[in-house]
Structure 1
Amino acid sequence: MTEFNQQDVEILRREPGFRGFYRLDVLTLRHRLFAGGWGPELRRELFVRPDAVCVLPYDPWQDAVVLIEQIRVGALGKRTNPWMLELVAGLFDDGEEAEQVAHREAEEEAGLTLLNLTPITRYFPSPGGSDEQVYLYCATVDSRGVGGLHGLAEEGEDIRVSVWPRSEALAAMADGRIDNAASIIALQWLELHGQGLRAQAGPQP
């Protein structure tokens, strides 16, 4: 990894580009080059948004995962069906910790109580143009009776919740029905670590 200090990048100007539910800033910057010296001034748009938490709810006693389905505007025109199968997810509110976001969103989006949380990773989904980081977790849940329609009406949420055998969720990932980064990373992690979660789960509560 290249050694870095704050003097290696100069932000010459930072101007507002758009202010709405999200924010777009326009940065003019320059940075040091690998070969030495400074590169030219660059103008870059930066999508500024709160960090997010994504949770894969996993029932180790049934060997099943809970997935949600909702419309995603980013999929319009690039996918035959813009309703996507995803993890429970949400953005940080001011002062919240990642685990608080996970528990809040699990209740709001899926009617779920998370029994425990296992951190998977933290990553930038699109650092070429966004400053968002995603905190990714797997959570143990009891999936009995889980399902139906959920979400906050005041936020326009219309979320369908379903329980999938782990093998069927992996098949949906393999054939492209599950095609978003957080879900793919979490399901691949579960394939590596699920046996250990099942062994540690103990008797079903």
Structure 2
Amino acid sequence: MSEQDVQILEREVCYQGFYRLEKLSLRHRLFSGAMGPVISRELFVRRNAVCVLPYNPQTDTLVFLEQFRIGALDNRTHPWLLEIVAGLIDEDEQPEQTAAREAQEEVGLEFTQLIPIMQYYPSPGGSDERVHLYLGLCSTEGVDGRVMGVAAESEDIRARVVSFAQAMHMLETGQIDNAPSIITLQWLAMNKASLQQQP
């Protein structure tokens, strides 16, 4: 991309809090080769994130985290979602460091290995966030029912250990309905056999 392809004419900060909302006026090149008309877009600006599915290949069990989510308040029978370990990457952190920190804060886990799955934009039509997905190999023993979280961040997180078969059933029945969990579970379904063969 160059200035010849995208021309930002105005960029205004509409809100600045934990997140930032910007309003942009811009033009971009069309597939015809011509420059398009001036358009207005709102951009939700937030730090990139890390999401990790904790998995024990020896017992074929996974750890999901149950917690209140404001985004699900108006669209579900209740706003407590089953998710995976997740957090925003601090300025001085690498994604792997964020994964280790969040696993400790949210559920008291230590990963023996982090396996990169992919990176993706969860909502590129209106947000610049990019998510780094991993599978985290770990022990799941004694984790089920553990309640943790950072009190200063108003976190109240309960761990649930489930078998891979249970997790796939929860996916099929819509009990697991957020993108990081869905993508990592589908990736695990395609790669589980080779992971279990590793020493």
Q: TM bucket by the smaller chain?
A: over 0.9
Residue 127 of structure 2 is aligned to residue 112 of structure 1: no
Partner of 1:180: 178
Partner of 2:10: 13
What one-letter code is carried by the residue in structure 2 that aligns with 1:105?
A: E
Partner of 2:163: 165
String of CA shifts for 1:165-204, please: whole Å, max 9, x gaps: 000001101110100000000000000011111111x2xx
Partner of 1:93: 90
Separation of aligned partners in 1, 2:72 and 2:155: 17
Separation of aligned partners in 2, 1:137 and 1:5: 32
TM-score, normalization by structure 1: 0.95
Equivalences for 1:41-80 in 2 at 5 Å? 41-80=38-77
Separation of aligned partners in 2, 1:150 and 1:195: 32
What one-letter code is carried by the residue in structure 1 that aligns with 2:190?
A: L
Identity score, percent: 54
String of CA shifts for 1:17-39, please: whole Å, max 9, x gaps: 10111000111000011012111
Q: Please state whether the residue corresponding to 1:176 is helix, strand or coil.
A: coil
Separation of aligned partners in 2, 1:86 and 1:171: 15
* Offset, 1:95: 1.2
* Offset, 1:6: 4.3
Query: Gaps (5+ residues) in structure 2?
Result: none
TM-score, normalization by structure 2: 0.98
Report how many residues are paired.
198
String of CA shifts for 1:93-121, please: whole Å, max 9, x gaps: 11100000000000100110101000000
Question: What is the aligned counterpart of 1:190 among 178, 188, 197?
Answer: 188
Q: Please state whether the residue corresponding to 2:10 is helix, strand or coil.
A: strand
Separation of aligned partners in 2, 1:24 and 1:154: 24
Residue 137 of structure 2 is aligned to residue 140 of structure 1: yes
RMSD: 0.8
Separation of aligned partners in 1, 2:131 and 2:13: 24
Separation of aligned partners in 1, 2:141 and 2:33: 60
Partner of 2:26: 29
Separation of aligned partners in 1, 2:186 and 2:25: 38
What one-letter code is carried by the residue in structure 1 that aligns with 2:18?
A: F
Separation of aligned partners in 2, 1:69 and 1:21: 23
String of CA shifts for 1:110-167, please: whole Å, max 9, x gaps: 1101010000000000000000000000010111111310101111000000101000
Separation of aligned partners in 1, 2:50 and 2:98: 7
Separation of aligned partners in 2, 1:70 and 1:111: 15
What one-letter code is carried by the residue in structure 2 that aligns with 1:150?
A: M
Q: Which runs of 4+ in 1 moved over 6 A?
A: none
Assess, with a 3 A threshold, how the Cα gap between structure 1 residues 161 and 42 changes in structure 2: closer, same or farther.
Answer: same
